[in-house]
Amino acid sequence: MTKLIGYARVSTRQQSTDRQQIDILAAGVRRDDLYVDHGISGARASRPQVDRALDALEDGDTLVITTLDRLGRSTQNMLAFAEELRGRGAGLRVLNLGGGDVDTATPMGSMLFTIMAALGQMEHEIKRERVIDSINKRRNAGKDLGGRPRLITDSQIRNARRLIDGGEPVTTVARDLGMSRATFYRRARALDLAEESSEASKRAPYSLPSPGIFSDGSYGTIALSAPQGTE
């Protein structure tokens, strides 16, 4: 008995496959036959769950995906995937293309798949060019590009402690600084140690021991203190 095998993928763990899974399940795929890759780039030729989906395919089965780019980003990768399906005697169903089966075993189906793969790669390249163009424009305009978190100065930590002493919650103050409570406490403790060390060095007496002879003829040391000013 032939069956439907579903596959969903997102490139980062912050993204969700919920929409893909809903559409695939609505197409008739059983949840037990649905394979999902989280945080796996489409540029990778090997992905754990898509490999499992392929292993589950038998002659006459159909792989169901929402969009063609779930299989990969490059035309070369997608054509290799089509060859894998042909070798297993399996079909392909792409839901955003109307849900019709693409029979990669026939010349017409193979040609259609090749065209779709090329269009998918072209669309990806266009998106990439737009992102790069947007980054360059923001950089030229001197705008923030995100990336590494901003440096928090010791002065900002001192001000944050004043807010906390005034009754502000530590969690709120730390979040406003863009750091966790643990990081804030660590920075505050390091600042306390640095300030205590600085104060201790200031309080140390400025004296040098010097050998000398006291009035009774005994030997000892004379402390040469820093000048205290004249009276």
For 69, residues 6+ apart whose C-beta sits below 8 A from its C-beta are 42, 120, 123, 124
pLDDT, tens digit, 9 for 90 and up, residues 95-109: 876 656 666 656 766
Total count of domains within the chain: 2
What integer is the mean pLDDT of 171-200?
A: 83
What integer is the mean pLDDT of 118-128?
A: 70
Query: The CATH number of the domain where 87 resides is what?
Result: 3.40.50.1390
Contact in structure between 88 and 17 (CB atoms under 8 Å): no
Residue 99 lies inside a defined structural domain of this protein: yes
Q: Which of the following is catalytic: 11, 155, 180, 198?
A: 11
> What pLDDT shows up at residue 101?
61
Q: Return the minimum-mean-pLDDT range out of 60-69, 123-132, 175-184.
A: 123-132
> What pLDDT shows up at residue 100?
62
Residues 20 and 98 in one domain: yes
What integer is the mean pLDDT of 212-222?
A: 49
Quote the distance between the C-alpha of residue 172 and its chain's center: 24
> What pLDDT shows up at residue 43?
59
Angle, CA 23 vertex, CA 21 and CA 25 arms, to 5°: 65
> What pLDDT shows up at residue 198?
72
The pTM of the full predicted model, rounded to 2 decimals, is 0.50
Residues 23 and 71 in one domain: yes
Q: Report how far residue 15's alpha carbon sits from residue 96's, in angstroms, rounded to the nearest whole number.
A: 19
Tokens (6 digits) for 177: 């600084």
Residue 51 has pLDDT above 50, yes or no: yes
What is the domain range of residue 93? 4-117
Contacts 24+ apart (CB under 8 A), 16-25: 19/66, 20/66, 20/70, 23/66, 23/95, 24/64, 24/65, 24/66, 24/95
Residues 37 and 102 in one domain: yes
Percent of the chain with pLDDT strictly greater than 70: 69
Residue 114 has pLDDT above 80, yes or no: no
Residue 140 lies inside a defined structural domain of this protein: no
Angle, CA 40 vertex, CA 62 and CA 94 arms, to 5°: 25
Residue 175 lies inside a defined structural domain of this protein: yes
Contacts 24+ apart (CB under 8 A), 176-184: 177/152, 178/149, 178/150, 178/152, 179/149, 179/152, 184/157, 184/160
> What pLDDT shows up at residue 68?
78
Residues 10 and 100 in one domain: yes
pLDDT, tens digit, 9 for 90 and up, residues 160-183: 888 888 888 888 888 888 888 888
Q: Is 11 noted as a catalytic residue in this protein?
A: yes
Residue 182 lies inside a defined structural domain of this protein: yes
Residues 89 and 178 in one domain: no
Residues 8 and 108 in one domain: yes
Residues 24 and 102 in one domain: yes
- Tally of CB atoms within 10 A around 78: 22
